[in-house]
Amino acid sequence: MFNWIKLVERNMRRNLRRTILTILTIALATFIYTVLVSVPASMDRVVRDASGTLRLIISNKTAPWEDLPARYCDDINKMPGVAACVAITGWFATWRDVSEPVFGVGAGPEIGDVFPDYALTNQQREATAKEKRTAIIGEILMRKYGWKIGDTVTLRGTDSDHMEMTFVIRGQMASKRYPNTFLMRRDYLMAARKAHGLPDEDIAWNIIVRATSADAMGPLAKQIDEHFANSDAETRTMTESDALSSGLSAIGNIRAIVFALCLVVLLTILLIAANSTVMMVREQISDVAVMRALGFSRGAVAFLLFGECGAIGFLGGIIGAGAALWMFSGGITLGAALGGNGALWVTPAQTLNALIAALAVSIVSGLVPICEAVRLPPALAFRKVV
């Protein structure tokens, strides 16, 4: 048996510049493919994580974009099956310019009871109670903007009022589930709204309730909606996972778009690898003829040529997928796409998926030229060179 690895390595060095450029091009395409396939996977992860919570999201039934009275929590806390209730008011803001968006969440001290997965420490709760400008921030958002605990941050609203608020970062959330959260005191947010001439109303974007058990969630949701059925702002109550799924569907069929882009990337890899393979095989026709004349079977020669295609695809895939895993394994914010929830994570599973795709496409790209080359009789192969 001939030294297959040595021959593959020698053939790859035959035109080293072309080999390197092909590997780097495949690496770039594989990097893009890895990130793209991670988008729907990350969204599924957000929804899947939310399905294990005991939270209910309450919004305005007749106009989901309208607010709810924050005082609804007073009645909800009296209902059986309620562990905690908190009114949430959001604020779309930017840091230094519009390219640095921040989604602020104003909440009361009950937030830690409704979201135990925020993992707020006693020190963070005490700091929030003492200082109205306190902000507790998710890990990814902290890393994205280079913030540190103790920093003073000024945010500016994106609405026409251009409201400004200054915060002191007093803690980072230990939870991996909400890495983009910018948590602030709701009373501070409402006071700033009033100071900037906005309506002096105690309103909430959503009211979030944590049930005492999974069995209590269904009856509790029904009871809440029935209780406020004849109010000025009727409610629609759903589980947290249903609310996130509904929000994702409202921003379009992202999954179909991403998969379409993945197909384009794979076709790009196929065309690049096929072009490189055609030139590689054309240069090696004489070698194929010599090997066939020396008694090598068609299968052995094809194995050698496919090995070179596979090696190029494997190296490009390793570089591209490995770079994506290195850069995004810790997550990056998806910003507006998920309204501050979740992030984009590249996992080893997606990295392996991309590596297999690059390897498979590179091998497939050589099917036609390699099969044509090994079918040539040795003498005819010599004449084609001439």
Tens of pLDDT, residue by residue over 297-356, are: 777 777 877 888 888 889 988 999 999 898 887 777 665 445 555 677 788 888 998 899
SS (HEC) of 146-159: CCCCCCEEEEEECC
Q: Give me the pLDDT at residue 160, please.
A: 64
pTM of the complete model: 0.70
Q: How far apart are CA 70 and CA 89, in angstroms?
A: 9
Radius of gyration, CA atoms only, the chain = 29
In one-letter notation, the amino acid at residue 47 is V
Q: Give me the pLDDT at residue 154, please.
A: 93
Q: How far apart are CA 166 and CA 318, in angstroms?
A: 45
Cα four-point dihedral sign 209, 214, 215, 218: positive
User: Within the chain, which residues score under 50 in pLDDT?
Assistant: 1, 336-337, 386
In one-letter notation, the amino acid at residue 59 is S
Pick the closest to residue 47 from 228, 254, 224, 259 (CA basis): 254
Length of the chain counted residue by residue: 386
Q: Give me the pLDDT at residue 1, please.
A: 46
Q: How far apart are CA 143 and CA 364, in angstroms?
A: 41
Burial of 78 (0-12, 13-18, 19+ CB in 10 A): exposed
The angle subtended at Cα 70 by Cα 53 and Cα 211, nearest 5°, is 25
Beta strands in 176-234 (DSSP E): 182-185, 203-204, 206-211
Residue whose token pair is 């640095």: 100
Those residues with Cβ within 8 angstroms of residue 176's Cβ, 6 or more apart along the chain or in another chain:
139, 331
Q: How far apart are CA 67 and CA 47, in angstroms?
A: 24
Burial of 275 (0-12, 13-18, 19+ CB in 10 A): middle
Q: How far apart are CA 329 and CA 317, in angstroms?
A: 17
Q: How many CA atoms lie within 13 A of 126 on its CB side?
A: 3
Beta strands in the chain (DSSP E): 55-60, 68-69, 82-94, 101-107, 134-137, 152-157, 164-172, 182-185, 203-204, 206-211, 235-239, 332-333, 343-344
Paired with 68 in beta bridges are: 204
CB 128 within 8 A of CB 111: no
Q: Give me the pLDDT at residue 7, please.
A: 72
Within 284-385, where are the H helices? Answer: 285-293, 298-328, 348-364, 367-375, 378-385
The angle subtended at Cα 206 by Cα 165 and Cα 82, nearest 5°, is 120
| Per-residue tokens: 276 | 């490189």
CB 378 within 8 A of CB 289: yes
